[in-house]
Amino acid sequence: MAGDRRSPIDAIADRPYVLAMALLDIIVAPDPRLKRKCTPVTTVDAATARLMKDMLETMYDAPGVGLAAPQVGVLKRIIVVDTAREGETRRPLKMVNPEIVWTSDEQKPHEEGCLSLPDEYEMVTRPDRIRVKYVDETNTPQEIEADGLLAVAIQHEMDHLEGVLFVDHISTLKRNIILRRLTKQKKHGNRAVGE
């Protein structure tokens, strides 16, 4: 509904009869909404759990290995990640208020991309192993240790919660080239959500 200032999560709460998962629109950079910091979630309720399911469905459909709530217009500290490869059993993680409590000294470069920066990839160096505490979809505190692609995906999605994109970790020159290219694509018909 145009002019509705409530967040999508609030709108979902008003429609408990909506049972099917929904694909959400992914915001594409450059867009100022992707640069905003997110607020913590006070409790994981049915609307938050529904949002996480919809985010996972959207991520799988895109396809991607992670998605953060601000990428779908919800400025809450929520991410979903699944690094299972094609043909493997899915291993989704739904994380509310994730917090990195430890990182390894060892850093490794990985090629990163982002659903909000379609078809753009660059090498980003991050800690190779991390420990993260978070609240899951049942409002239960959890803590996991992750390495490799899972560690990269979690760190990448957590950056979104701070308004940071993977291109913020590369040179200004490369970042500007990528953002100009995305701006040009928007002007030629591949417009971002909400524009």
130 CB-near residues (< 8 Å, 6+ apart)? 100, 102, 103, 104, 145, 146, 147, 151, 154, 155
The separation between CA 74 and the C-alpha centre of its own chain, rounded to angstroms, equals: 10
User: Is 111 an annotated catalytic residue?
Assistant: no
From the list 106, 122, 157, 162, the catalytic residue is 157
Give the residue numbers annotated as catalytic, written as ranges: 157
